[in-house]
Amino acid sequence: MRLCFKIFIFSYSFSLLFISCNQKAESPRIFEGYHQYLDEIIISKKGAFRGIDLNNNSAFIKKTEKVAPIESSPEQLYFEYVLDSAMNYSIQYSLNNDSLEEISLQINSTDLELVSYLFCDLKDFYANKLPNPIEDKGHVVYNGNEGSPKPYNISLSDNSSTSKGVINMVIYRDK
């Protein structure tokens, strides 16, 4: 009986050790306190979006995105990403003389509750980054780099219908 008990304890301990060694270590969250999809959509706290700022060139954008664009021309770079079976997003970078002028993000989902949650998280994230947003009828505008020689704005809106969730965000120069 004692021998069976010792074998059981040894086997159990060994299996726990084996299981814990084989589990993947989760990478640290970038945006703790926000939905995990923000880690994949925004990627970095640096820059206006994904570590990218207006005036960056196309080579920098391609290097930062790490995947080939779906469409590429001297005036634009277009990327599409799938987060899960119900959610995807696209990013369009508009360029002028190889200098980034505008970033457009569109998030699409059939999960309306998740879209609403992400919209609130995006609002909170940019409100913490760029205080004093102006909000009107589901449309929020943030003023970035106030007082800098090249200020920009971020426009965020929830354009969801009763069957499809859609969030649009545009980062553009303040003229």
pLDDT tens digits, one per residue of 97-122: 999 999 999 999 999 999 999 999 99
Structural domain includes residue 19: no
Whether the CB-CB separation of 167 and 118 falls below 8 Å is answered with yes
What confidence tier does 168 reach under pLDDT thresholds 50, 70, 90? very high
Check pLDDT > 70 for residue 42.
Answer: yes
User: Looking at residues 70-81, what average pLDDT do you find?
Assistant: 97
Structural domain includes residue 21: no
How far is the C-alpha of 40 from the C-alpha of 81, rounded, in Å? 10
Q: Are strands 134-136 and 71-73 parallel, antiparallel or unpaired?
A: unpaired
Q: Which residues sit opposite 93 in a β-bridge?
A: 77, 103
Structural domain includes residue 166: yes
Give the domain range for residue 102.
30-173
Count of the separate structural domains present in the chain: 1
Q: What percent of the chain has pLDDT over 90?
A: 64
User: Looking at residues 52-57, what average pLDDT do you find?
Assistant: 94
What confidence tier does 11 reach under pLDDT thresholds 50, 70, 90? low
Structural domain includes residue 3: no
Q: What sign results for the dihedral spanned by CA atoms 96, 154, 71, 44?
A: positive
Q: Are strands 99-109 and 76-84 parallel, antiparallel or unpaired?
A: unpaired
What confidence tier does 28 reach under pLDDT thresholds 50, 70, 90? confident
128: which 2 tokens? 């913490």
Check pLDDT > 80 for residue 25.
Answer: no
Helical H runs in 23-97? 36-41, 58-65
Check pLDDT > 90 for residue 60.
Answer: yes
Q: Which residues sit opposite 20 in a β-bridge?
A: none
Check pLDDT > 50 for residue 8.
Answer: no
Averaged pLDDT score across all residues of the chain: 86
Between 175 and 157, residue with greater pLDDT: 157
Q: How many CA atoms within 13 Å lie on the side-chain side of 120? A: 8
Q: How far apart are the first and last CA of the chain?
A: 83
Structural domain includes residue 118: yes
Give the length of the chain. 175
- pLDDT, residue 154, reads 94
pLDDT tens digits, 133-162: 998 877 899 987 665 556 789 999 999 999
155: which 2 tokens? 């426009």
Structural domain includes residue 5: no
Question: pTM, whole model, 2 decimals?
Answer: 0.81
Structural domain includes residue 43: yes
User: Looking at residues 9-18, what average pLDDT do you find?
Assistant: 51
How far is the C-alpha of 89 from the C-alpha of 34, rounded, in Å? 18
In the DSSP assignment, the letter for residue 52 is B
